[in-house]
Amino acid sequence: MNRDDGIRYSPRLSAVRPSPTIAITRAAAELRRRGKDVVSLSQGEPDFDTPQHIKDAAKLAIDNGATKYTDVDGSPELKAAIIAKFKRENGLVYDLTQVSVGTGGKQVIFNALSATLGSGDEVIIPAPYWVSYPDMVLLADGKPVVVECGDAYGFKLTPAALDAAITPRTRWLILNSPSNPTGVGYTVEELRALADVLLRHPHVLVLTDDMYEHIRYVDWSFRTIAAVERRLFDRVLTVNGVSKAYAMTGWRIGFAGGPAPLIRAMATIQSQSTTNPSSVSQAAAIAALDGPLDFLAERNHVFRERRDLCCKAFNDIDGLSCLLPDGAFYLYPSCAGMIGRRRSDGRTIDTDVEFATFLLEEAGVAVVPGSAFGHSPYFRISFATATNNLIKACDRIAKACATLR
Ligand code: PLP
247 closest CA partner among 86, 43, 29, 67? 43
Q: Is 175 helix (H, G, I), strand (E, B) or coil?
A: strand
pLDDT band at 26 (very low <50, low <70, confident <90, very high): confident
Q: Pairing state of beta strands 39-40 and 365-366?
A: parallel
Does ligand 1 come within 6 angstroms of the Cβ of 209?
yes
CA of 44 to the centre of ligand 1 (A): 8
In sequence order, what E strands does 211-334 have? 236-241, 254-257, 330-331
Q: Is 178 helix (H, G, I), strand (E, B) or coil?
A: coil
Question: Taking residues 311-332, what's their average pLDDT?
Answer: 97
What's the CA gap between 22 and 33, in Å, rounded? 16
Please report, to the nearest 10 degrees, the dihedral formed by the alpha carbons of residues 313, 316, 321, 323 taken in order.
Answer: 50
pTM for this model (two decimals): 0.95
Q: Percentages helix, strand, coil for the chain, rounded to the nearest 5?
A: 45, 15, 40
- Give me the pLDDT at residue 351, please: 94
What's the CA gap between 59 and 280, in Å, rounded? 8
- Give me the pLDDT at residue 1, please: 46
Please report, to the nearest 10 degrees, the dihedral formed by the alpha carbons of residues 204, 210, 213, 215 taken in order.
Answer: -130
* Lowest-confidence pick of 4-13, 320-329, 347-356: 4-13
Does ligand 1 come within 6 angstroms of the Cβ of 238?
no
pLDDT band at 220 (very low <50, low <70, confident <90, very high): confident
Q: Is 171 helix (H, G, I), strand (E, B) or coil?
A: strand
User: CATH topology for 11-49+295-402?
Assistant: Aspartate Aminotransferase, domain 1 (3.90.1150)
CA of 242 to the centre of ligand 1 (A): 10
Can 11-49+295-402 and 52-290 be said to share one CATH topology?
no
**Is the pLDDT reported for residue 302 higher than 50?**
yes
pLDDT band at 3 (very low <50, low <70, confident <90, very high): low
pLDDT band at 11 (very low <50, low <70, confident <90, very high): confident
Does ligand 1 come within 6 angstroms of the Cβ of 208?
no
Helices 294-315 and 387-402 cross at an angle (nearest 10°) of 10
Q: Which atom of ligand 1 is nearest to the CA of 108?
A: 14
Question: For a pLDDT cut of 70, what percent of the chain falls above it?
Answer: 98
Does ligand 1 come within 6 angstroms of the Cβ of 215?
no
Does ligand 1 come within 6 angstroms of the Cβ of 258?
no
Does ligand 1 come within 6 angstroms of the Cβ of 211?
yes
- Give me the pLDDT at residue 252, please: 98
pLDDT band at 16 (very low <50, low <70, confident <90, very high): confident
Does ligand 1 come within 6 angstroms of the Cβ of 181?
no
Candidates 110, 210, 211, 246: which one to mutate for ligand 1, based on the most atoms within 8 Å of Cβ?
211
- Contact between 105 and 240 (Cβ < 8 Å): yes
| Amino acid found at 346 | G
User: CATH topology for 52-290?
Assistant: Aspartate Aminotransferase; domain 2 (3.40.640)
Distance of CA 217 to the CA centre of its chain: 17
249 phi/psi in degrees, rounded to 5:
-60, -35
**Is the pLDDT reported for residue 25 higher than 90?**
no
**Is the pLDDT reported for residue 293 higher than 60?**
yes
What's the CA gap between 62 and 370, in Å, rounded? 42
CA of 105 to the centre of ligand 1 (A): 6
What's the CA gap between 112 and 100, in Å, rounded? 10
pLDDT band at 235 (very low <50, low <70, confident <90, very high): very high
- Contact between 331 and 311 (Cβ < 8 Å): yes
For the chain, the average pLDDT equals 95
CA of 98 to the centre of ligand 1 (A): 21
- Give me the pLDDT at residue 12, please: 85
The tens digit of pLDDT for each residue in 381-405 reads 999 999 999 999 999 999 999 999 9
Write out the H or E segment, with its range, that includes residue 31: helix 20-33
Question: Taking residues 132-157, what's their average pLDDT?
Answer: 95
**Is the pLDDT reported for residue 2 higher than 60?**
no
Q: Which atom of ligand 1 is nearest to the CA of 105?
A: 16
Does ligand 1 come within 6 angstroms of the Cβ of 180?
yes
Question: Taking residues 30-48, what's their average pLDDT?
Answer: 91
* Lowest-confidence pick of 2-6, 136-140, 243-247: 2-6
pLDDT band at 256 (very low <50, low <70, confident <90, very high): very high
379 phi/psi in degrees, rounded to 5:
-145, 155
- Give me the pLDDT at residue 24, please: 77
- The counts of H helices and E strands in the chain are 14, 12
CA of 101 to the centre of ligand 1 (A): 14
Task: Write down the domain spans for the chain.
Answer: 11-49+295-402, 52-290
pLDDT band at 151 (very low <50, low <70, confident <90, very high): confident
What's the CA gap between 100 and 203, in Å, rounded? 22
- Give me the pLDDT at residue 18, please: 72
Does ligand 1 come within 6 angstroms of the Cβ of 254?
yes
The tens digit of pLDDT for each residue in 165-198 reads 999 999 999 999 999 999 999 999 999 999 999 9
CA of 210 to the centre of ligand 1 (A): 9
The tens digit of pLDDT for each residue in 87-118 reads 999 999 999 999 999 999 999 999 999 999 99
